[in-house]
A and B are shown apart, each in its own frame.
Chain A
Amino acid sequence: MSGNVLRAACAAFLSGRGYAARTDFIVPGTDIRVDVAAVLPRMRDLKMRLKRGFVPTGILHPLIGAGWVTVTEIVRRTGYPAGHVAAVLEEAAGERWIDLDFQEPEPRCRIRDYRPPAKECLLAFDGTERLAEKLERLEALAGCYSRAQFVFPYDLDEKTTETLAGLGAGIVRYHREHGVFQELVPAESLEIDDPGRFALIVEYVLYEHIWIRTGEVL
């Protein structure tokens, strides 16, 4: 079975359980690729975004959980041109996502009452290819996801099972012929230590997902 099929089946499975899922997700601002990123939205925050627009977290994520941050620091952390950053900040201030303070010697801003629009971010990986590399990717994303799981369309050997379980990752056996995802080892529930990057992931995934929903007939 190809990795494409496995990823698509996994995303469909999670979508059917209320998650907003995205296959082959590149974490913004990095070159880290996640096979399936799935987020479980929170109603109030999702509705707020439908009214006011989504938070431009590509620029604002350094502000999350950080208090006042100078514009220079945002430009440095995001890597975007200063003009673009200034334009986005001005718009975000207009939409009441941030407070802007034009103090000397340089302007600064802070995010207002920000709450990520998701209660969970689950990262799933196809375990059949380049497993070691995917474990490294997962390590690089530590603190910005709630659970991680590896999906295999076959039974795992004991050593790999122990390695993955030891890292707190879940192990899911996909039975292709039955369309069943069987949770063999439940994923450990982790604390979010990097709220900025967590927000970045969930805002991006939800933003893309919600516009698909608007295409429903009923």
Chain B
Amino acid sequence: MKKPRVFSFTGKGGSGKTTLASLMLAALLRRGTFRDILVIDADPDANLSATLGIPVEATVGQAVDRRRNELKESAGRGRKLRFSLWDTIRHDRSFDFLVMGRTAGEGCYCAVHSALTESLLDTMAMYDLVLMDFGAGLEHFSRRAGNPSDTLLISCDPSRLSFDTARRIDELVRELSLPYERIFLVGSRFPREAEDLFYQLAREAGIESLGVIPADGDVAARNLAGDDLLSLDPVNPALRAAEGLLERLVASGPAS
């Protein structure tokens, strides 16, 4: 079976996972290996759209709310969840973008969520590559959201707390036997002089390190201004570093 490759991004809040996901996407688009790419913002506090420069028009959470209300009020009439999910996918020139968002109502959503999970897995199968940006924290792992996934990238900024979170994520993934084939630690915003420390802390955490995205003034300025990261200068050091990480990921990945 031709499974899509799935790269998921996680880490402590503010550790740079959304920036990392955006830089990896920029590197992927430059590389051109994958034809159909779906980017999923699975963070309830969705902000990947800003770093990709795509306004959010609709979310899956809104579609779920709408469908649940339709089912309550009109005996099933209305747009089916699968097609609403497809409508929510925004088509950019070179990739597709889906924002999960969150539901607003109260009460039981089990049936709708169950249908959503199935539709989402079918939808992911239609792509060559799926990038998934998770929210901070560990709860989505417990809910087993976003599986299956071949590669989990844990972003760590230069703080001890960030490595503690990475260690807890790694432990939780193993405890729950989540089907990640590979887990990597990525250093985000590390000054050059602290890179050795990153590799040392990664070893202590017992997680394989993929590499480091250096601290970069242009990336920081764009994040501050709310500008996108897909139009970075091709020689930008952070983008070049992301290209290097991608090279390693794709070269060492499971056969698709």
With beta carbons under 8 angstroms apart, the residue of B89, B111, B123 that contacts A218 is B111
A216 to B35, CA, bound (A): 30
**Interface members, chain B 212-248 (any A CB < 8 Å):** none
Among residues of A, the one whose C-beta sits closest to the C-beta of B67 is A218
| Residues of A in contact, count (CB < 8 Å) | 21
Instruction: Tally B residues with Cβ within 8 Å of A.
Output: 27
Counting CB contacts under 8 A, is A40 at the interface? Answer: yes
Q: How far is the CA of A47 from the CA of B89 in the complex (A)?
A: 10
Known: A119-B2, A218-B71. A40 touches B126 (CB 8 A): yes
> Is the beta-carbon distance between B82 and A216 smaller than 8 angstroms?
yes
- Asked whether, in the complex, the Cβ of A43 is within 8 Å of the Cβ of B82, the reply is no
Which residue of B83, B91, B112 is within 8 Å of A44 (Cβ)? B91
Identity of the chain A residue whose Cβ is nearest the Cβ of B116 in the assembled complex: A218
Residue of A nearest to B126 (CB): A43
**Do B125 and A17 have beta carbons less than 8 Å apart?**
yes
**A47 partner residues in chain B, CB cutoff 8 A:** 86, 89
Does A35 touch B at the CB level, under 8 Å?
Answer: no
User: Contact between B2 and A40 (Cβ–Cβ < 8 Å)?
Assistant: yes
Shortest Cβ gap from B27 to chain A (Å): 22
Assembly CA distance A50 to B89 (angstroms): 14
B38 CB–A CB distance under 8 Å: yes
Q: Given that A40-B126, A44-B36, A218-B111 are known contacts, is A120 also in contact with B2, CB under 8 Å in the complex?
A: yes
Shortest distance from the beta carbon of A209 to any chain B beta carbon, whole Å = 11
Hey, which bits of chain A sit against chain B, CB under 8 A? Answer: 17-19, 40-44, 46-47, 50, 119-120, 146-147, 189, 213-214, 216-218
